[in-house]
Structure 1
Amino acid sequence: MWLNPAYFTDDAVRIYRQQLLQHKPRYVVIDQLFNSSPLEQVLQQLQLDHGWQTQKHTYDKLYVNDKKWQNTPEPERFVKRDLWLRNSSTAPNNIAQQFLDYLRGEEFLKFLSRLFKVQLTDKNVADPALNTNYFRLGSSDFVHQHADDSPGREVCMLLYLNKDWQADQGGDLVFQGQHNQTIAITPLFNRCVLFDPASAGAEHWVNAVKAGTTSCYRYNVTSWYWSE
């Protein structure tokens, strides 16, 4: 249902691996990796007003409350965005939740393991659900420069769910890159970015979403994967 079969053949994986080896940081962009029809249903679920909660991180502490946030100088704040509350829908077959479950399922873990040539597993992950979720950013939100290179974290996945997104709307993912040559990636619908967070130049941030854009929010899935 989810993966587009043309994009995870042996030949396709070889091409992705070549790109990983050529790029610094080690990353690959795959458009249309997933079947678009169910992703459109996921987006419809995410566009409902309920089920979101603001998330705030500082460079010295994650998930801070409003009091801590207000007492933190702006240069020390690095994330303000909305987090989707898993299981927030009362629908028995919530397609948004089904997709999150798939991203931590056997088929997708095997695909990523083949691509990055590392055995990924949730065996030693205390709460895998914390490592895969939806986020949205509006014009007042931000994700400043940071690294995702926690010990044992091998792969980061970003999947964008923004229909008819235009380059002038902002919201680009930007890798630091090497030798001051940044790499900007537009968050187009069904565009998947996979990268090695420990590779040189993998620190990244998100350009601000422009106020007054066609869509109020920039939607994406973020998923982190670990080795044994």
Structure 2
Amino acid sequence: MISSPHGGLHAEAPISTSPEQTIFIFATGYLSGYHISSIKDDEFECENEWERLLKPFGLKELRRSLYKITPFQLCKLLELPLDVSTSLELFQWAGAQREYCHSFEVYFALIDKLGMSKEFKVIDRLLLKMKEEGVVFRDSLFIVIMKYYGRAGLLGQATRLLLEIKDVFFCEPSFRSYNVVLDILVATNCPSEASNIFYYMLRKGVSPTVYTFDVVMKALCMVIKHRIPVDI
């Protein structure tokens, strides 16, 4: 169901239904005569519009009211405070439509939500699904996932993903990806591992930034403080 700060809102049964229009009385007393599929994408730029139209509904009502959903609309739905199970159901349901393909933005929105819930196994499956479907990966997606790994204390997973970005997913990691992992390793008192990532970054021809050197200097100070011999 859709989360609500005031508890669960529910829609009354449809007053009337036609191919062009579905009318619902919202629990707030508001009467809506607009079918979602009849509203153009550019009219949903404001998230408040989505919340106004969809807040009272559960997945069952959404299925009844939507004839076909676009990746843009699905992305907006996934950005709403839906729980993980409902979000996955919407994702699978939309993907079963004819002539429909999930966009990168849809995957990003869903994976971001899964990361917040620490559903990393599901994320791994979605990454493989993206690869199978030929979705072009972007560095920003891996950065988000690695940050969630770091928050969950999964340092090895964050490092593993960094090393797989190019070899497995054929995406070129930027300095931002390396900076994220360096940050995670230094913040969790792993200076030696941070130095290894730094050298790997240089070998791959990725130019460090001022921020990169700042993090590496912190790692060096930690190494000296703990008297761990390492070349930097």
Q: TM-score, normalised by structure 1?
A: 0.19
Higher relative contact order, structure no. (Cα contacts within 8 Å, ≥ 6 residues apart): 1
Q: Which has the higher strand share?
A: 1
Q: TM-score, normalised by structure 2?
A: 0.19
Larger Rg: 2
